[in-house]
Chain A
Amino acid sequence: MDLLTFKLILVLALFLLSLTIAAYSTWAERKVASIMQDRIGPNRAGPFGLLQPLADGGKFFFKEDFTPANAEKFLFVLGPALVMFISLITGAVIPWGKSLNIAGTSFDLQVANIDVGVLFIIGMASIGVYGIMIGGWASNNKYSLLGAIRASSQMISYELAMGLALLSIIMMTGSLDLKEITESQTTGKLWGIIPWGSGMNWNIFYQPIAFLVFFVAALAETNRHPFDLPECESELVTGYSTEYSSMKLGLYMFGEYVNMFISNAFMVVLFFGGYNYPGIEWVTQNWGENAAGILSVVAFLTKTVIGILIFMWIRWTLPRFRYDQLMHLGWKTLIPMALVNLLITGAVILAFAN
């Protein structure tokens, strides 16, 4: 198999995986909500309501697709498309697994191994705001515009904290390459003292504060609770998506779930060892490359799914932040925290480098 064929298959698989996980996140969200509120949740469509995402999708497609008379038609359509597009494209640089050996050639399970993977994801996440902003503006509705402005100012503020939190990881690894960041977490003594087998040298043990900042910022970036201010029903109808109906609204909501999946995958790469799992080197040596590769994909997806579940858990626990609280938290707490963390990281690296 040549490289191009493999990459095409990988792209297709990734596309399907992102969409499936996003679709089933909507189901899981409702299930998680229900079990936390002592209810049963979706259980009508198929066993355990497993066909619910299909039913929802069907409903979205067949609902009336309404465009307001004074809306900017082109941009109105572009908004949700952009959100979906950006969410899906970020998956390309994430290393989903170690490597697979097909007919004697070893293939990395990563679509595009670019040197600036971190920058690419951060950049794409920033562009994601455009989808929301354009949608809110093109609706020609004050509530939508206000919602969009809130969403974009929130996302821009939290991107700063996110970037600063990331910097400490980049400083530790010395690379913007996501594959390299993952590989740096494979071996090594924990904190330089505790000897551990391979695959457990995760960044979370070194950078808990950076993780905390990054986690909170990721919640805000994906518009998840407790920071889902663009959709404050009581103040802004539903924010930027007020005028949207049918599958356009569906794309916005779906894009949010794809976003959640990707940002969790990103978080796994940065802090939870990516595709590493305890004993990854032993498995590679004893069971072969393919077994290790498949196990690494499983490990990666498990960690990601756990992350998604934690996002949901938080959503059904916490009430929304007020807008000024959100801004205070972002600017007065998270950014200074990330900066201090950066300073400490720099000092520690400097002290132990020699």
Chain B
Amino acid sequence: MKLTNRSKVVSNKEMTLAEKIYLPAIFTGMGITFKHAVRTVIKGAPAVYSYPEVQKPRATIWRGQHVLKRDEEGRERCTACGLCAVACPAEAITMTASERTKEEKGLYREEKYASVYEINMLRCIFCGMCEEACPKSAIYLTDRLVDVETNRGSFIYGKDKLVEKINERIDITTRQSEKQKNAVK
């Protein structure tokens, strides 16, 4: 019975003399490796990045570590609606909502804000659903890489790591559609 059309008939044909003494094939192979060696020595290794110093260029829409955006006045956009947590297929996002006081008006844009916002980077699959679900354009994935940690606890990223610093804004305009750019004020 033929299950797929990819099956092949194995040939058990006798090897010819040239194949039996192996040497021609061995010399061909050694020629190939030698060619590669010479090229690497003369021209340097092709397509190798010395990682920590030189990073491989990433696509502008690379889905890396998340950022919680602030608006132009430096207020946090997130209103702790929880849609990102609902949308998250890996259930990596948890948050606690709080109400802002009068003095905090300059800190949060809406009356409600996330007092705790945590993403478990070990669960996160970087699918970008949170980004799509967010009605306030508050959460975005960026092209940054998640740092290496030595214990599991450190992979639970709180607001200290997620919210962008006021003087170190993270540019996410390349991943926004025209429509979204216009919608975000």
Q: Which residues of A contact B (CB under 8 A)?
A: 32, 34-40, 43, 313-314, 316-318, 329, 333
Contacts and interface: CB of A to CB of B under 8 A. Distances in A.
B29 A38 contact: no
B45 A314 contact: no
The 7 nearest A-B residue pairs measured at CB: A35-B40, A36-B33, A317-B33, A317-B29, A35-B37, A36-B37, A40-B45
A37 B36 contact: yes
Interface string B13-30: 000000001100010011
Contacts of B34: 36, 313
Contact of B32 (A34, A317, A333): A317
A302 B45 CA distance: 26
A200 to B, nearest CB: 25
B50 interface: yes
A217 to B, nearest CB: 15
Nearest to A329: B22
B46 interface: yes
B38 to A, nearest CB: 9
B40 A38 contact: yes
20 contacts: A32-B37, A34-B45, A35-B36, A36-B33, A36-B34, A36-B36, A38-B40, A38-B45, A39-B40, A39-B45, A40-B45, A43-B50, A314-B30, A317-B26, A317-B30, A317-B32, A317-B33, A318-B26, A318-B29, A329-B22
A35 B30 contact: no
A299 B167 CA distance: 65
A40 B48 CA distance: 8
Given A313-B34, A317-B26, A38 B47 contact: yes
B59 interface: no
Given A38-B47, A329-B22, 16 more contacts: A32-B37, A35-B37, A36-B34, A36-B37, A36-B40, A38-B40, A38-B45, A39-B48, A40-B45, A40-B48, A43-B50, A313-B37, A316-B33, A317-B33, A318-B26, A318-B29
A316 B34 CA distance: 10
Given A313-B30, A316-B33, A38 B48 contact: yes
Contacts of A39: 40, 45, 48
Contacts of B39: 38
B46 A313 contact: no
A313 B33 contact: yes
Contacts of A38: 36, 39-40, 45-48
B41 interface: yes
Nearest to B38: A35
Nearest to B26: A318
Nearest to B36: A36
Nearest to B41: A35
Contacts of B50: 40, 43
Nearest to A43: B50
B146 to A, nearest CB: 23
B15 to A, nearest CB: 11
Residue with the greatest number of chain B CB neighbours at <10 A, chosen from A35, A40, A43, A329: A35
Interface in B25-71: 26, 29-30, 32-34, 36-37, 39-41, 45-48, 50
B5 to A, nearest CB: 29
A313 B50 CA distance: 25
A316 B36 CA distance: 11
Contacts of A318: 26, 29
A306 to B, nearest CB: 14
A34 B41 CA distance: 10
Contacts of B33: 36, 313, 316-317
A18 to B, nearest CB: 26
A314 B48 CA distance: 24
Residue with the greatest number of chain B CB neighbours at <10 A, chosen from A34, A36, A40: A36
Contacts of B30: 313-314, 317
A142 to B, nearest CB: 31
Contacts of A314: 26, 30
Contacts of B45: 34-35, 38-40
Contacts of B47: 38
A325 B165 CA distance: 65
A247 to B, nearest CB: 27
Contacts of A40: 45, 48, 50
B34 to A, nearest CB: 7
Nearest to A32: B37
Contacts of A316: 33
Contacts of B41: 35
A64 B22 CA distance: 43
A313 B22 CA distance: 16
Contacts of A37: 36
A243 B181 CA distance: 61
